[in-house]
Amino acid sequence: MIKTIPLKWRELTGSASDFSLESRIFHSISLCLVMLAGFYVPYDIFAGLYVAGGSSLIFSLLFFYQFYHSRYKGIRHNSIFLGLTGLILFSINYFANSGIHGSTDVIWPAFLLLLFAVSPYRHHLTWLIVYLLAFMALHLVAYQYPQLVSYPFDAGKGQLIDRITAFPLPVICIYVVMKYMRRSHDKERKAAEEKAIAIEVRNEQISHQRDLLEKSNAEKTS
């Protein structure tokens, strides 16, 4: 049973021959988010964090929708839609979940890393600037108008539980992105090394054949 899990996971995320690296990263993250939502949504509702629970549910449903169409319909995921959705939901959750004292700040960088991994290179600088400006704007607004920030849990135990439960999401995002990036890099490096070895062997064969030819010509002329 345990041995079949990696095979099932690769089947769900797609093979390298059928999907790009960005799509496979997106598929993996989408599946992780859907599974985590099975924990986060009931917990948030039970803890009275209704906005956070709603955000988690919407987030997971949107990712699953994009995953299904990308994996089984051949329709590439829309990174612009995902980036804007994350921006909106994180902004709402920031004010509804204790602002700077909540866990939203923990998740932002990991989601931005995910966005970089699944979006075209030409969009990276734009997303970086947009998220930096949005991050600073939210904090400045919350600082100038503290009454806009809701505190649904206590500063002690509630804040501890909120931070601990929020930590797995960015860690999983970072793990999946780095795993695929490292695997892709290792595969490219191995292919380059094999190509270099093949070229070296071919050059040695050519050199050997040239030596034999020169030796044969020398014997004919002697």
- Of the chain, the percentage scoring pLDDT greater than 70 comes to 86
Q: Report the pLDDT value the prediction gives residue 137, as an integer from 0 to 100.
A: 94
189 HSE (CA, 13 A, CB side): 6
pTM above 0.75, yes or no: no
The position carrying tokens 């599974």 is 35
Structure-block tokens of residue 189: 């490096």
Cβ contacts of residue 158 below 8 Å, gap of 6+? 47, 152
Contact by Cβ (8 Å): 136, 194: no
Tokens of 122: 């030409």
Mean pLDDT value across the chain? 80
Residue with tokens 């780095």: 178
What's the rounded mean pLDDT across residues 191-211? 75
Average pLDDT over residues 7-31: 80
Instruction: Using pLDDT thresholds of 50, 70 and 90, give the confidence band for residue 8.
Output: confident
User: What pLDDT, on the 0 to 100 scale, is given for residue 205?
Assistant: 78
Write down the pLDDT at residue 139: 93
Share of the chain above pLDDT 90, in %: 11
Q: What is the pLDDT of residues 151-194, one digit of tens each?
A: 877 777 777 777 777 777 778 777 877 777 666 666 666 767 77
Q: Which one has a higher pLDDT value, 64 or 209?
A: 64
Q: What local confidence, expressed as pLDDT, does residue 218 receive?
A: 67
Tell me the Cα Rg of the chain: 26
Q: How far apart are CA 95 and CA 97, in angstroms?
A: 6
Most confident segment among 63-67, 84-88, 141-145: 141-145
- Determine the pLDDT at residue 132: 92
Query: Given this model, what pLDDT does residue 207 score?
Result: 77
Closest by CA position to 34, among listed 4, 77, 83, 67: 67
pLDDT at 129: 94
The three state secondary structure string of the chain is CCCHHHHHHHHHHCCCCCCCHHHHHHHHHHHHHHHHHHHHHHHHHHCCCHHHHHHHHHHHHHHHHHHHHHHHCCCCCCHHHHHHHHHHHHHHHHHHCCHHHCCHHHHHHHHHHHHHHHCCHHHHHHHHHHHHHHHHHHHHHHHHCHHHCCCCCCCCHHHHHHHHHHCHHHHHHHHHHHHHHHHHHHHHHHHHHHHHHHHHHHHHHHHHHHHHHHHHHHHHHC
pLDDT at 2 over 60: no
